[in-house]
Amino acid sequence: MSTHLVTGISELTTQSSEEARPESAENRVLDAAMIVEHGRIAWIGPAANAPAADQRTDLGGRAVLPGWVDTHTHLVFAGDRSAEFEARMAGQPYSAGGIATTVAATRAATEEQLVVNALRLRLEAARQGTTFLETKTGYGLDLESETRSAVAAAAVADVVSYLGAHVVPPGIDRRDYLDLVTGPMLAAVAPYAGFVDVFCETGAFDVEESREVLLAGRAAGLGVRVHGNQLGHSGGVALAVELGASSVDHCNHLSDADVAALADSPTVATLLPACDLSTRQPLAPARRLLDAGASIAFATNCNPGSSYTSSMAFCVATAVLQMGLTVREAVWAATRGAARTVGAELGPGAVGSLRTGGHASFQVLDAPSVSHLAYRPGVPLTVAVWKNGERLGFAPPAGGLSL
Ligand code: NIG
């Protein structure tokens, strides 16, 4: 394998600062270059100091940043809920009840159909710069369909979360369903999963039920994540902090005590701005969380019900334009901050940062700096994506950029 010099980088966002501060000068190199070898970054720094290499790619003065790390998606599903979306835009509230529609369609689908649909979305995300992605089960909700969903999830995602506790499906007693989720279903899905997750919310699972599910998952060797405080003060955030969860996701309705608890804990608040907009919930208080000292991440929550987008760039632009973050804070939360929620922030397997020895997984913007992600909202700026040292082969953008 030869060495490959990537040059012509107007601004390289590395996110490699040990201090873990988005605005640190260490995280940004102007007029930069990288050498890629064996899928990893062999050298990174100012272009003027770049060593020679066997091959060379000139990016022509474009910005480079780590690939997006999308750690909250639900890609394994069948069916369409655009009618529910239209009704919501006409004033109907979002509720957990819509999940049952997707469960029925998912149960009726073959494993192949589930994989093909999930792969379509995974590729859609990759084309837009996502190089690491988590996805969940949670639309099967019986032993056979959840297991099938876990197989499909593992085929398309870098990490899988087991969300048997999404809602109690129709036709089964609540207690019997909890026994299934914490017993045979957990045993069947755990070999494919890295995390257990629960929807702790009115209409889904209360705090005691959620604790039971999460402790069973942890006993089976899984990390812990929680859907919490999406539609109200569900107690999910307090539970996540109590259990030392890797992440609590949504966080739309937070008390001062919730914010203080997150600030004092290693649990990351994963915020889902596209979902907030699509469900007309208040935007999660990203600024308040950061100012209090909590760690945050952004994710798409790509799913057919509450957030049907795979665009991390949309989430970043929303975080800047509507949630009060700087561009660098938002980019950090969509890359290295997100990596923290899956235990992949540091070390040889780290994602979400670009550093010597790390994975060469990055995206190229057709813009001179990351500020254009919010300065030019809605514009598909990602024009090339590299994952583990290989450029992903998508059709070139209109206008024929040749890199
Ligand atoms: O994260 N909140 C729970 N689950 C998904 C949405 C599920 C759906 O409406 O289909 C979410 O928003």
pLDDT tens digits for range 48-65: 999 999 999 999 999 999
User: Which pLDDT belongs to residue 400?
Assistant: 40
User: Which pLDDT belongs to residue 326?
Assistant: 97
Measured between alpha carbons, how far is 330 from 335 in angstroms, rounded to an integer?
9
Pocket test for ligand 1, best of 306, 307, 309, 315 (most atoms within 8 A of CB): 306
Amino acid at 233: H
Which residue segments constitute the domains of the chain, with CATH numbers given? 3-67+352-391 (2.30.40.10), 69-340 (3.20.20.140)
Measured between alpha carbons, how far is 338 from 353 in angstroms, rounded to an integer?
11
User: Which pLDDT belongs to residue 401?
Assistant: 41
At residue 337's C-alpha, the angle toward residues 387 and 347, to 5°, is: 60
CA of 368 to the centre of ligand 1 (A): 36
Asked if 76 contacts 36 with a C-beta cutoff of 8 angstroms, the reply is no
Mean pLDDT to the nearest integer, 211-215? 98
Alpha helix stretches (DSSP H) within 56-170 = 82-89, 99-108, 111-127, 143-156
Measured between alpha carbons, how far is 190 from 182 in angstroms, rounded to an integer?
11
Binding site membership of 236 for ligand 1 (Cβ less than 6 Å): no
Residue 398 has pLDDT above 60, yes or no: no
Measured between alpha carbons, how far is 70 from 4 in angstroms, rounded to an integer?
27
Measured between alpha carbons, how far is 346 from 358 in angstroms, rounded to an integer?
9
Residues annotated within the binding site for N-formimidoyl-L-glutamate are 139, 303, 305
- Summarize pLDDT for 288-322 with one digit per residue, the tens: 999 999 999 999 999 999 999 999 999 999 999 99
Quickly state the pLDDT bin for 21 (edges 50, 70, 90). confident
Asked if 327 contacts 371 with a C-beta cutoff of 8 angstroms, the reply is yes
Residue 92 has pLDDT above 50, yes or no: yes
Measured between alpha carbons, how far is 358 from 227 in angstroms, rounded to an integer?
31
Mean pLDDT to the nearest integer, 184-198? 98
Closest to 220 (Cα-Cα) out of 178, 192, 244? 192
Quickly state the pLDDT bin for 30 (edges 50, 70, 90). very high
Measured between alpha carbons, how far is 334 from 357 in angstroms, rounded to an integer?
21
Binding site membership of 101 for ligand 1 (Cβ less than 6 Å): no
Mean pLDDT to the nearest integer, 142-152? 98
- Summarize pLDDT for 347-369 with one digit per residue, the tens: 989 999 999 999 999 999 999 99
**What share of the chain has pLDDT > 70, as a percent?**
97
Q: Are strands 55-66 and 4-13 parallel, antiparallel or unpaired?
A: parallel
CA of 306 to the centre of ligand 1 (A): 6
Closest to 164 (Cα-Cα) out of 103, 122, 89, 219? 103
- Summarize pLDDT for 164-180 with one digit per residue, the tens: 999 999 999 999 999 99
pTM of the model: 0.96
User: Which pLDDT belongs to residue 20?
Assistant: 67
Amino acid at 180: L
Residue 40 main-chain phi, psi, to 5 deg: -120, 170
Residues annotated within the binding site for 4-imidazolone-5-propanoate are 81, 139, 166, 230, 306
Binding site membership of 279 for ligand 1 (Cβ less than 6 Å): no
Closest to 66 (Cα-Cα) out of 275, 332, 274? 332
Binding site membership of 230 for ligand 1 (Cβ less than 6 Å): yes
Mean pLDDT to the nearest integer, 393-401? 52
For residue 201, give the 3-state DSSP assignment. Answer: coil
User: Which pLDDT belongs to residue 396?
Assistant: 47
Measured between alpha carbons, how far is 310 from 201 in angstroms, rounded to an integer?
24
Residues annotated within the binding site are 72, 74, 81, 139, 166, 227, 230, 301, 303, 305-306
Binding site membership of 199 for ligand 1 (Cβ less than 6 Å): yes
* Residue with tokens 């922030």, as numbered in its chain: 345
Mean pLDDT to the nearest integer, 71-95? 97
CA of 301 to the centre of ligand 1 (A): 8
CA of 310 to the centre of ligand 1 (A): 14
CA of 401 to the centre of ligand 1 (A): 38
User: Which pLDDT belongs to residue 17?
Assistant: 82
Joined tokens for residue 242: 């109590």
Asked if 13 contacts 327 with a C-beta cutoff of 8 angstroms, the reply is no
Q: Where are the beta strands (DSSP E) in 229-282?
A: 247-250, 268-271
CA of 49 to the centre of ligand 1 (A): 49
- Summarize pLDDT for 177-189 with one digit per residue, the tens: 999 999 999 999 9
Measured between alpha carbons, how far is 329 from 319 in angstroms, rounded to an integer?
9
Quickly state the pLDDT bin for 138 (edges 50, 70, 90). very high
383 φ/ψ sector (left φ>0, alpha ψ -120 to 50, else beta): alpha
CA dist 329 → 13, 307, 316 (Å):
12, 22, 9
Closest residue to atom 8 of ligand 1, CA basis: 305
User: Which pLDDT belongs to residue 22?
Assistant: 82
Amino acid at 380: P
Edge-to-edge strand order for the sheet containing 68-70? 68-70, 130-136, 159-165, 195-200, 223-228, 247-250, 268-271, 296-298
